[in-house]
Structure 1
Amino acid sequence: MQRCFAVLIAFLFVVFTSPQASAVAATTEDAAITASSWLTLVDGGYYVQSWQTASRFFRSAIAEATWAASLQAARSPLGSLVRREQRASQLATSLPGAPDGEYCILSFATELTNKKTAVETLTMMREADGQWRVAGYFIK
Structure 2
Amino acid sequence: MRFITAALAASLFIAAPVFAQTAPAAPASDPAIAQKEADARLAAQGWLVLLDRRDWGRSWETTSSVFRGMVPLGTWMDAVPKVREPLGAFVERKIVESAYKTTLAGQPNGEYVTVIFQSKFEKREGIEAVTTVLDRDGKWRVTGYSPPAQ
TM-score (norm 2): 0.77
Task: State whether residues 110 and 119 of structure 1, in contact with CA within 8 Å, keep that contact through their aligned partners in structure 2.
Answer: yes
Question: Are 1:95 and 2:104 matched, yes or no?
Answer: yes
Q: Name the amino acid aligned to 2:106.
A: G
In the TM superposition, residue 77 of structure 1 has moved relative to its aligned partner by: 1.2
Q: How far apart are the structure 2 equivalents of 1:51 and 1:26?
A: 25
Counterpart code for 1:31? A
Q: Which runs of 5+ in 1 are unaligned?
A: 1-15
CA drift of 1:85 comes to: 0.3
Q: Secondary structure at the match of 2:30?
A: helix
Provide Cα deviations, 1:90-136, integer angstroms capped at 9, x if missing partner: 11111111100000011000000000x22110110001221100000
1:123 aligns with 2:135: no
What is the CA RMSD across the aligned residues, in angstroms?
A: 1.5
User: What pairs with 1:109-120 in structure 2 (closer than 5 Å)?
Assistant: 109-115=118-124, 117-120=125-128
Q: Aligned residue for 2:58?
A: 49
Return the structure number with greater relative CO, CA threshold 8 A, min gap 6. 2
Q: Structure 1: how far apart are the matches of 2:44 and 2:143?
A: 10
TM-score normalised per structure 1: 0.83
> SS at 2:98's partner residue?
strand
In 2, the alpha carbon distance for the partners of 1:25 and 1:98 equals 22
- Asked whether the 8 Å contact 1:32–1:106 carries over to 2, the reply is yes
Q: CA deviation at 1:44?
A: 0.3
Point out the structure with max Rg over C-alpha.
1
What percent of counterpart residues are identical?
34
Q: Identify unmatched segments of 5+ residues in structure 2.
A: 1-26
Q: Which residue of 1 aligns with 2:92?
A: 83
User: Per-residue displacement from partner, 1:31-76 (whole Å, max 9, x unpaired)?
Assistant: 0111111101000000111001100000011111111211100101
Q: Which amino acid aligns with 2:138?
A: G
Q: Which amino acid aligns with 2:111?
A: E
In structure 2, distance between residues paired with 1:82 and 1:129 = 33
